[in-house]
Structures are given as C-alpha cells and as structure tokens.
Amino acid sequence: MKYLYLVLSLISLSTFAQKAQNIRINLKDQNTKAPISEATVTIKNTQLTGIADDKGEVFIENVPLGRLEIEITSIGYTKLILKELILESAKEIILDLEMQASSETLDQVVVSAATPNMSKAITSLNTITYEQVMRFPATFFDPARLAFSFAGVANTNDQANGMAIRGNTPESMQWKLEGVEIVNPNHLSNAGTFSDQPTQTGGGTNILSAQMLGHMNFLTGAFPAEYGNTLAGVMDMTYRVGNNKKFQHTAQIGLIGVDLSSEGPLNKAKGSSYLFNYRYSFTGLLGLMGIDFGGESIKFQDVAFNFNFPTRRLGTFMIFGMGGNSSNEYVPNADQTLWESEKDFNNIDFYSRMGVVGLKHNLKLSENWNLKTVLANSGLENLRDAYKTDPAFNISYTYQARNILGFSSILSGNLNRRLALNTGVNINHYFNEFNLKNNGDSFYSFSGLIVQPFIRITNSEKTRLSYNVGFVLPHYTLSQKTYLEPRLGLAYDVNTKFALKASYGLHSYESSNQNAFALPYRPVRAHHFNLGYQYQLSENQELFGEVFYQNLFNMPVSNNQYLSVLNGYENTVVELSTDASNLNNQGRNYGIELNYRKYLSKGLFALINTTLYKAEFLAFDNKYYQTRFSGNHIVNLTIGKEWTKSPGKFIGLNTRIAWLGGFRNYEILEAASIVSKSTIYNYSKPLIEKNPDYFRPDLRVYFKKSKDKFSRTVSIDIQNFTGQKNLAYQYYDAFLEKITPKYQLGMIPMLNYRIEF
C-alpha cells in the first residue's frame, strides 16, 4: 500500500511540474529609464509575489499555467494591472515594462494589455500585443490585420492589410521599426489593388512575423512631436528581446506555410541573447482544399533576427533586421475557350523583395537621463511584367525601387519633479527609382532628405492633469520647405473613473511614389483636432470615444477636373495642376468614434466600436465632395469566449463582424473604354458611384494544451465564413467587352498547428 502511495505522490508532483512556469519582469521609470527597485509584483488570485531587485528585475517561479493578471505596485508610482496574459509550459513570460511616477495624493490604476504607451500619446492610440494577434479572428498572425478591429480603420481590400484611417488615403500612413521610418514591410504589395500595381504601405501579409514583435503602438491622429512625415497614422513596431536564460523554440505549420522561431542566450553571464524567425509559404495546399487562385502561384518567404548585447558601462547594443521576397505568377489557361476575363490575355509576373538592417544603442547617461540612438537602412524593390506567350513582347513593364536610410537619436529624462523632457532628431534619406514607360530603358530616380528635430515635454508625475506639449521642425530638401509644427495633448481625470482628453497637431507629408514625381514637390499639410473621453466601468471594462476633425491643405490642385491626391495616388493624378493660387482648406475628414472594451476575464472578452465619418476634398468649383475612402460608417464587433478545462488546457471561440460603408468610385466611360480597350474614368464628375456596404464575419476556434516540456495549439480561422460577396471595384473588361464587377475574397479557411518547446 505504501508503494502505491509513493507512486501516486510522484505522479502528483509530476503533474504539478507540468502545470507551472516562470515569469520574469524588468521594471523601469517611464521617463528616465532607470530601474525601479523594491516594486511588488503580485499574481492575482494566487499567493505568489515577487520583489524587484536593484536592477528592477523580478523573478517568480512555479506560476500556475493559463490566463493571468499581474498587479505591480511601487511607492511613488501608479499601480499597474496587466491583463490578457497567457502562461504556457514551454515558454516563460518575459515583460519589459515602464511605470509612471505618481503624485502621492492620487491612487491611480493603469490597466494595460502588457504593451506600454511608448509615444506618450494622449488620444488616438491603440496598443497591439502578440497575444491579441494570436487570439483575434482572421489576423493570420499579421498585426496590421488586427488593426481592422479598431475604430476608424477600414480595410481597403480583403487580399491585403492596407488601411484607410479616418478616411485618409492609405499612402499617407507610416511604418516605423525601433523608432525609425522604414519602407513598406509587406509581402505582395500589389494584392487587391485595382491597378495590380504595388502600394506604398500595404500588402498580403507583414514580413515581420508576429513571433518577433515586442511592444507595438498604432496611432491614428494628432501624433506627438517625435512623429513626422505622416498624415493618416503610424504603425510603430519594436522587436522583443530573446530569452537570455534558457532556450525556447516554436514551430508552426498551416495552410499559409511553415513558421520557425528560436531564442536563447548567447552568453548567460553577460545577459546577451538572440531571437530568430524564418517563414516559408506554400499556398498550394489551399488549392488541394478546392480554393481557387485563378491560375495564380503565390509564394513568399522571410527571415528576421534580433541580437541583444548588454554591457556594464557602454549601454546595450542591439543588432536587428528582417528581409523577405514574394512572387505572384499568373499563367492563363492554354485553352482559350476557357478564358473568362481580360486578365487571360497575358502572363503576369510580380516579384518583390524587401529588407531592413539596423543598430540600436541604449545608454544610461546618469540616474535621470537616457540616450537612445538607432540607425537603420531599409530597401524595397518591385517588378511587374505582363506579356503574351513570348516574354519578348511586353504589354506592361513596371519597376520600382525605394530606400530609406533612417537615423534617430533621442534624449529622455526628468528636468525636475514636475517636467519630463524628450528631445532629439529624426533624419531620413529617401531614394526612389522607377520607370515611367512600359520598357526597361526609361528609368528615373530622385532622392531627398527630411531632417526633423523635435522637443516634447510631459508631466514627470501622474497628476489629475496630464499633458504632452512639443513641436517638430521638419525640413524637406526636395521642396526646400521648413515648417514649425506644434503638438499638444491634454487629459484631465475628473475622478478615478472618468477622464476628458484633447489633442492638436499640425502635420506634413511629402509623398515620394512615382505618381507624385509628376507633381510639384510640396508637402501636404493637415491640422488634427481630437476631443475624447474615457470611462472605467470596472477593472475589466471601459467606454471611450473621440470626436476628430482634420483640415488638409497645401496640395496640388486641378483647374477643371474632380481630381485630388486625397482619392489616392493609385488613381491618375498626373493631370493635377501646379497652380498655387488656393492652397487652403482643400480637404477635411471629420467624425466620431465610440468604443466599448472588455478585457479578457472569466473567459470573456469584447471590443465593440462604431465610427461615423466623412472625408471630403475641395474641387475646382469651390465645393466639397466625398473622397474615394469616405465610407461614412465603420462598425466592428469582436467577442470571444474561452473555456478552461484544466491549468494550461482550454478552448476558445472568437468572432469578428465588420460592417463598413462602401468606398466611392469615378464613373467609367464605357464608350471611351471600348475604343481604348482599357478602363477610362470620367474625372469631369466627382466620385458619384458608391460601392454597396461591406459585410464580413470572421471566426476563430482554437485548442491549447500544455504538456511537460512543450505546449501545442490547434486552430482554424475562417475569413468571411458566410461567403458574403463584397464588391471591390468595377472595371472595363476588354475580353468581355463590358463594365465588370470585381468581388473581394469569399470564404477562406486557415488551419494551423503550433508547438512551443
């Protein structure tokens, strides 16, 4: 009997070992980046706690697996409560967190989904976490697709992650990596465009795998002073640092492809680490399931890395990079009797490659001051060729290359007990090369420099009144323009549950795509105004919203046609005039956003929002007309439920429903299109045609289970699980000899298996 008791005891101990893992947290002051010692970290609903050492590091062992909430308190700092964390047997949770000093008279609680506000933005800010990317439906592990669940963001096409933010053209948003602007970091940048030409900011999927992502902020208006050369929004990404104590690996295989990730220490004594990821697609498996790509062969692969080297006296060095290539090859059916559209006239080859390499250095100058410097070079090359059976007979040949050499140096710290300073300079050198004619001989290139010194002052302690005041002084060498652009953000806590917010920013943006090359070098400018509120219903629920207004000006104008760059550079804009007689009040975007969020607790979460808006441009007749991206409404409902079967074992069922107003189009001149055998738009009328409303429900079902030394996840995402037919655009089809609708994607299932060890 005693032997049976011993065996049962060993089994019990083994089971316990399988159901626990470690948590490591690094705490720093939000302004000075100094470590916060003696902070108390509590795992809620357990008896487990930890105390930060002199380096601000906390280590808690044997934490039960599953969903967790963490509470962090420290004398003189706001209380921090971290939501929506998940602990699995194969990987430690490692969090790099910042806390804000607080007035002793306040008992403020900051609820976070484990991603801090890196920008100190007061309004128009969304944080994105790796856990959300893995939980929300139909993101396909792309953080940009997660942004479609936020208020004010409309997806331009199902096939890509391009976004129109608050009615702005997608080209005027910006991607940043580790604090510097980079080129378009997406595979298949021509996906879903009506011209089949590459876009400047979107694509089929992000080249940076979600497994590499650290903190990520998504800003949609009135940006703080360190953000320049953008009007619509900023996707601000950082790498996470690899585990410097133990090796951890992930393998993922699905209908998109295979994804392999590894991290671990390079030198345990010195704390250096590596993080590496490789992906390869094989969309041919989708064809085996009966999903028709219409004769297209779609492929991509990418690699990303991050090496972190802390030193005792010289600060921390980080070497990071990513790169990828993608292709989309279309071969029409050899049997011409089976041809269905104009596309079958040609073979079409699209190839793209993109890469970034950079160096980041963090240096503590003193107890109160920190210097962060980043240098990164990013490049992009796109080639599209459409031809008959023999490639020698080209029909359309397009080449684009772009490079951004970015430099950023930022000094941050406390001026005194009340004022925190963040100042520095961002410098970007842009180089563009492309052809304007359908051959390989006529190439054009141009380059330019944007120098953006800035200063930002915030309150170093959390008080009832929070502020973010600063300015940026961008200088554009192409246009030889220099502007003073003030930025302001204010928040007032009426009480511990309710806060009022407001912000203003003057912004500018100089496009450098090939269509803009035919326009005068003149940055488009905009005044951004936001007024918002936030109401904490409970520790896990909140209501928040904003009223926004954007006044756009300083654009190229047309003397006799309804053209505007606010309708997108994908439309023909070369006929715009250089006339500078009226450069004021040329466009306006305005609307209201209302949100309800329930953080994941007791197995339930929700994110529900509604946006009512208009985006308008001023035409030559001195009247306002709605732009292409003025859909008028965006409604998102994302809800989910998790059932916990045992520690580390649970099932999730999540859905997202999107209902968007349709985009607008120019009228197609059918008679002229018949003569030219191509789509001819009528620019003598405004965008009088509007697509029907867009409706798409997505679904995600997943099963997670943790074993002794590994954990696994089986999931299936179904995009548009009802098979809704949504109109993308219309065009004149020379084969069918009529105006033809082009629909967005139907139902797309994505099965995935993931193992972490």
For residues 354-381, average pLDDT: 96
Confidence of residue 257 (pLDDT cuts 50, 70, 90): confident
443 backbone dihedrals φ, ψ, rounded to 5°: -110, 150
Q: 61-77 pLDDT, tens per residue?
A: 999 998 999 999 999 89
Residues with Cβ within 8 Å of 262's Cβ and at least 6 positions away in sequence, in order, are 247, 248, 249, 250, 274, 275, 276, 277
User: Is residue 724 helix, strand or coil?
Assistant: coil
Burial class (CB in 10 A: 0-12, 13-18, 19+), 645: exposed
Residues with Cβ within 8 Å of 120's Cβ and at least 6 positions away in sequence, in order, are 224, 422, 456, 458, 468, 489
Reply yes or no on whether the pLDDT at 5 is more than 60. Answer: no
Alpha carbon distance 518, 537 (integer Å): 53
Q: 209-225 pLDDT, tens per residue?
A: 888 999 899 999 999 99
Domain map of the chain by residue range?
2-112, 125-756
For residues 529-542, average pLDDT: 95
Percent composition of the chain: helix, strand, coil (DSSP 3-state, to 5): 10, 55, 35
Mean pLDDT (the chain, rounded): 89
For residues 713-731, average pLDDT: 94
Structure tokens at 562: 């309804």
Confidence of residue 295 (pLDDT cuts 50, 70, 90): low
Reply yes or no on whether the pLDDT at 437 is more than 90. Answer: no
Contact 756, 248 (CB under 8 A): yes
| Residue (of 120, 93, 207, 129) closest to 161 by Cα position | 207
Residue entry with tokens 């001989």: 441
Tell me whether the CATH fold assigned to 2-112 matches the one assigned to 125-756: no
pLDDT of residue 3: 42
Confidence of residue 283 (pLDDT cuts 50, 70, 90): low
Q: Which residue has the higher pLDDT, 504 or 118?
A: 504
Give the strand pairing for 694-706 and 633-646. unpaired
pLDDT of residue 555: 85
Alpha carbon distance 178, 321 (integer Å): 10
Reply yes or no on whether the pLDDT at 13 is more than 50. Answer: no
For residues 722-727, average pLDDT: 94
For residues 3-12, average pLDDT: 39
Amino acid at 416: N
Contact 176, 144 (CB under 8 A): no
Structure tokens at 538: 């409970």
Alpha carbon distance 179, 175 (integer Å): 10
Structure tokens at 17: 């070992």
Amino acid at 691: N
Contact 344, 384 (CB under 8 A): no
Percent of the chain scoring above 70 in pLDDT: 90
Structure tokens at 205: 């999927």
pLDDT of residue 10: 37
Confidence of residue 294 (pLDDT cuts 50, 70, 90): low
Greatest Cα pair distance, the chain, in angstroms, is 98
* Cα-based angle 194, 195, 197 (whole degrees, multiple of 5): 120
Alpha carbon distance 358, 319 (integer Å): 6
Reply yes or no on whether the pLDDT at 84 is more than 50. Answer: yes
Reply yes or no on whether the pLDDT at 331 is more than 90. Answer: no
Contact 648, 709 (CB under 8 A): no
For residues 351-363, average pLDDT: 97
Reply yes or no on whether the pLDDT at 51 is more than 90. Answer: yes
Alpha carbon distance 553, 586 (integer Å): 5
User: Is residue 636 helix, strand or coil?
Assistant: strand
Contact 318, 309 (CB under 8 A): yes
Reply yes or no on whether the pLDDT at 11 is more than 60. Answer: no
Phi-psi region of 420 (alpha: psi -120 to 50; beta: other; left: phi over 0): beta
The gap from C-alpha 588 to its chain's centroid, in whole angstroms, comes to: 24
Whether pTM > 0.75 for this model: the answer is yes
Contact 430, 414 (CB under 8 A): no
Level-2 CATH architecture, domain 125-756: Beta Barrel (2.40)
User: Is residue 623 helix, strand or coil?
Assistant: coil
For residues 141-155, average pLDDT: 94
What is 2-112's CATH number, 1.20.1300.10, 3.40.50.1100, 1.10.10.10, 2.60.40.1120?
A: 2.60.40.1120
Percent of the chain scoring above 90 in pLDDT: 66
| Residue (of 653, 646, 750) closest to 705 by Cα position | 646
pLDDT of residue 285: 53
**Neighbour tally for 8: CB within 10 Å:** 10
Confidence of residue 520 (pLDDT cuts 50, 70, 90): low
Q: Which residue has the higher pLDDT, 559 or 371?
A: 371
Confidence of residue 4 (pLDDT cuts 50, 70, 90): very low
Reply yes or no on whether the pLDDT at 106 is more than 70. Answer: no
Structure tokens at 322: 């990513």
Structure tokens at 335: 């049997």
Confidence of residue 575 (pLDDT cuts 50, 70, 90): low
For residues 441-467, average pLDDT: 90
Structure tokens at 400: 């684009």
User: Is residue 168 helix, strand or coil?
Assistant: coil
Structure tokens at 76: 């003189």
Reply yes or no on whether the pLDDT at 7 is more than 90. Answer: no
pLDDT of residue 337: 84
Contact 232, 507 (CB under 8 A): no
Count of H helices and E strands in the chain? Answer: 5, 50
